[in-house]
Structure 1
Amino acid sequence: MDIPGLPARRAALNLIDAVLRRGETLDQAGGSALARVSGDADRALARAIAGEVLRWRTDLDELIDSATRLPLAPDAKARAVLQIMLAQVLRLETPAHAVIATGLPLLMGGPRRLAHGVFSTLTKREVALPDVPTLPEDVAGRWGARGEAIAAGLAEPPPLDLALRHPEQTAEWAERLGGTSLMPGHVRLARGTAVEHLEGFRDGAWWVQDLAASLPARLLGAGHGKRVLDLCAAPGGKTLQLAAAGWQVTALDNSKRRLERLRDNLKRIGLEAEVVQADVLTWEPEERFDAILLDAPCTATGTARRHPDVLHRIGERQIEEMTALQEKMLDRASGWLKPGGQLVYAVCSLEVEEGEDQADKVALTPVPVAASELPEGLEPSAEGWVRTDPGMLAEVGGLDGFFVGRWQK
């Protein structure tokens, strides 16, 4: 059936199914789900629809259930199609007639009349979504009292953050790119900017990096030619930061594909690092390091505002698997420091098991973080750790959720 826009909606349906049924990330699902969608605009639309459904799924379901006499099964295709249709009207401001024309064909041979009736009932009521997404029940249970504040930061996809090659040029680049800055070396731009077309991209003046993701490397300060080990380094944002700050960097990761991106980024920015493909759990360094940055594999729940699939994929099993891996990596990394060397541990996770609980196990001397080392508006915890979440700095665009700790041998 040749209906303009239908392939994008079918792709969105497949993306959502891959996340909810197979536990894939949106990025992992994109290859097959978007294969039959032509054009960057339609592929972006499919991703946007899927992202908004996953961001607001609990609230979309509540609306759907309010308009059906008998509840639809949680995994019913009609429910998924209605989620897609409502997300377009309520979040993407797509005209209702276009939503119907591209939504109902997804139910060929199915309950099209039911879906049409539910959608029409809700649009006639002029329903709206709440200001803040309702978290899935299991997520709300894990995050507890923090959940409401975190959810407030998930209502919108994030702006675009850039990290500068030369932090002393912050004011200049903020003006040239029409952005704002929250600390030296950082420029924030409006969402939707085409990165490769921005001034300074080809010249290597900056790279894309969320503000919170830039904090771990910042806490190691200037390198002055000393040796630093960047563990789980790809795709390289922290490697670039460390090299730009004067460190002699060894960047280690076990993914060949991701290390290729790291090398490309180093070449574009004009920086150097020793790149090593190896497994942290089996690799052994020839000599000790002055500093180590371990940005450990994690559940990545702190990236929920840009990757809302994590709200539906991550549970206790994944958290347990990640914490076991992190503990092993921390133990090995701690032994690779020179006396007096510093270790920074970071995860882009909102789970205390991956952050605070791991920090309590580190057998090194804590080096508390000072408020002066953080963007204005952020404060370290009483223990001197850094804990960010998407609800913080919301008035200026927010930031990802991270835990960061620092120790000395």
Structure 2
Amino acid sequence: MDIPGLPARRAALSLIDAVLRRGETLEQAGSSALARIRGEPDRALARAIASEALRWRTDLDALIDSATQQVLPDDAKSRAVLEIMLAQVLRLETPAHAVIATGLPLLMGGPRRLAHGVFSTLMKGGAALPEMPTLPPAVSERWGERTAAIARGLAEPPPLDVTLREIDATAEWAARLGGTSLASGHVRLPRGASIESLDGYRDGAWWVQDLAASLPARLLGQGEGRRVLDLCAAPGGKTLQLAAAGWQVTALDVSKRRLERLRHNLDRTGLAAQVVTADARTWQPDQAYDAILLDAPCTATGTCRRHPDVLHRIGPRQIADMAELQSALLSRAAEWLVPGGRLVYAVCSLEPEEGEERAGKVALDRNVIRADELPAGFAPDHEGWLRTDPGMLRDEGGLDGFFIARWTKA
């Protein structure tokens, strides 16, 4: 059926199915779900529909249930189709007639009349979403009293953050890019910017990196030619930061594919690092390091404002698996420091099991993070650790959730 816009909606439906049924990330699902869509605008539309449907799924389902006499099964295709239809009209401001024209054909041979009836009932009744998403019950239970603050940060997709190669040029690049700066070496731009067409991209003047993701490398300071190991380095933003700060960087990661992106950005920016493809659990360095930055593999629940699939994919099993891996990596990293060397540990996770609980078991001297080391609006907790969440700096566009801790080897 040749209906304009239908392939994008069909792809959005496939993306949601891959997340909810198979536990894939939106990025993983995209390789197959978007393969038949030629134009980038339609691919972007499919991603946007799926993302908003997942971001607001709890509230969309509540609307759907309010307009049906018999509750649809959670895995019913008609429910998923209604979710993407409502996400379009309520979040992406797509006209209702266009939503109907591209939504109902997804149920060919199925309950089209039911879906049409539910959608029409909700539109006639002035259906609306709350000011902030209602998070899935299992997520709210995990995050407890932090839930409301985090949810406020999820109401809108995030802006675009870039980190500058030359920190002293912050004001200049904020003006050239038409953005705002929340910290030295940082510029924030409205979402939707075409990255490769922006001033300075081809010259390697900056790279894309969330403001919170830039904090761990900042806490190692200037390198002055000293040796640092960026452990689990891909896709490479922290490697670039460390190289720009004068460190002699070894960037290690197990993923050859993801390290290709790091190498590309090193070439683009003119920065240097030794790149090593290896598993940190079995690799052994030839000498100790003055500093180590371990941005460990994690559940990435702190990235939920840009990757809302994590709200529906991550549970106790994934958290426990990641915590076990993080403990192993922390133990090995602690062995590779020179006396007086510093270790910074970071995860883009909102789960205490991956943050505070891991940090509490590290057998090194705690090197507390100070407020004067951080950009305005950030402060360490009573333990001297730093936690950010998507509800912070909300008026400025928010940021990802991170946990960061630092130690010194005696």
How far apart in 2 are the matches of 1:265 and 1:346? Answer: 22
Question: Which residue does 1:22 correspond to in 2?
Answer: 22
Question: Which residue does 1:307 correspond to in 2?
Answer: 307
Question: Which residue does 1:368 correspond to in 2?
Answer: 368
Question: Which residue does 2:91 correspond to in 1?
Answer: 91
Report the more deviating stretch, 376-385 or 21-30. 376-385
How far apart in 1 are the matches of 2:42 and 2:7? Answer: 8
Aligned positions of 1:132-211 closer than 5 A: 132-211=132-211
- Give 1:269 deviation, angstroms: 0.3
Q: Which letter maps to 2:384?
A: G
- Give 1:365 deviation, angstroms: 0.6
Q: Which letter maps to 1:9?
A: R
Deviations 1:183-211 (A, max 9, x none): 10000000000000000000010000000
How far apart in 2 are the matches of 1:266 and 1:35? Answer: 29
Q: Which letter maps to 1:141?
A: E
Deviations 1:123-156 (A, max 9, x none): 0011100001000000000000001100000111
Question: Which residue does 2:298 correspond to in 1?
Answer: 298
Name the SS for the 1:252 alignment partner.
strand
Question: Which residue does 1:275 correspond to in 2?
Answer: 275
Report the more deviating stretch, 31-40 or 190-199. 31-40
How far apart in 1 are the matches of 2:255 and 2:187? Answer: 29
Q: Which letter maps to 1:195?
A: I
How far apart in 2 are the matches of 1:303 and 1:209? Answer: 12
- Give 1:372 deviation, angstroms: 1.5
How far apart in 2 are the matches of 1:100 and 1:48? Answer: 18
Aligned positions of 1:27-176 closer than 5 A: 27-176=27-176
How far apart in 1 are the matches of 2:378 and 2:251? Answer: 29
How far apart in 2 are the matches of 1:70 and 1:141? Answer: 27
Name the SS for the 1:47 alignment partner.
helix
How far apart in 2 are the matches of 1:181 and 1:374? Answer: 14
Question: Which residue does 2:242 correspond to in 1?
Answer: 242
Name the SS for the 1:282 alignment partner.
coil
- Give 1:35 deviation, angstroms: 1.1
Name the SS for the 2:404 alignment partner.
strand
How far apart in 1 are the matches of 2:144 and 2:374? Answer: 25
5+ residue gaps, structure 1: none
Deviations 1:356-391 (A, max 9, x none): 000100100111111112121111101110100000
Question: Which residue does 1:378 correspond to in 2?
Answer: 378
How far apart in 1 are the matches of 2:258 and 2:43? Answer: 23
How far apart in 1 are the matches of 2:234 and 2:358? Answer: 22
How far apart in 2 are the matches of 1:70 and 1:341? Answer: 63
Name the SS for the 2:326 alignment partner.
helix
Q: Which letter maps to 2:230?
A: D
Name the SS for the 2:119 alignment partner.
helix
- Give 1:37 deviation, angstroms: 1.4
- Give 1:60 deviation, angstroms: 0.1
How far apart in 2 are the matches of 1:370 and 1:100? Answer: 55
How far apart in 1 are the matches of 2:252 and 2:73? Answer: 46
Deviations 1:77-96 (A, max 9, x none): 00000001000000000000
Deviations 1:96-146 (A, max 9, x none): 000000000000000000000000000001110000100000000000000
How far apart in 2 are the matches of 1:305 and 1:373? Answer: 26
Name the SS for the 1:169 alignment partner.
helix
- Alignment length (residue pairs): 409
Question: Which residue does 2:387 correspond to in 1?
Answer: 387
Question: Which residue does 2:251 correspond to in 1?
Answer: 251
- Aligned-CA RMSD value: 0.4
> What TM-score does the superposition give when structure 2 sets the normalisation length?
0.99
How far apart in 2 are the matches of 1:32 and 1:353? Answer: 33
Name the SS for the 1:403 alignment partner.
strand
> What TM-score does the superposition give when structure 1 sets the normalisation length?
1.00
- Give 1:339 deviation, angstroms: 0.1
- Give 1:38 deviation, angstroms: 2.1
Question: Which residue does 1:218 correspond to in 2?
Answer: 218
How far apart in 1 are the matches of 2:191 and 2:375? Answer: 20
Q: Which letter maps to 1:112?
A: R
Q: Which letter maps to 2:117?
A: G
- Give 1:247 deviation, angstroms: 0.2
5+ residue gaps, structure 2: none
How far apart in 1 are the matches of 2:116 and 2:234? Answer: 46
Name the SS for the 1:358 alignment partner.
helix
How far apart in 2 are the matches of 1:37 and 1:95? Answer: 22
How far apart in 1 are the matches of 2:218 and 2:359? Answer: 19
Identity %: 75
How far apart in 2 are the matches of 1:8 and 1:123? Answer: 22
Name the SS for the 2:56 alignment partner.
helix
Name the SS for the 1:275 alignment partner.
strand
Name the SS for the 2:38 alignment partner.
coil
How far apart in 2 are the matches of 1:64 and 1:270? Answer: 53
Deviations 1:147-194 (A, max 9, x none): 110000011110000000000000000011110001100000000000
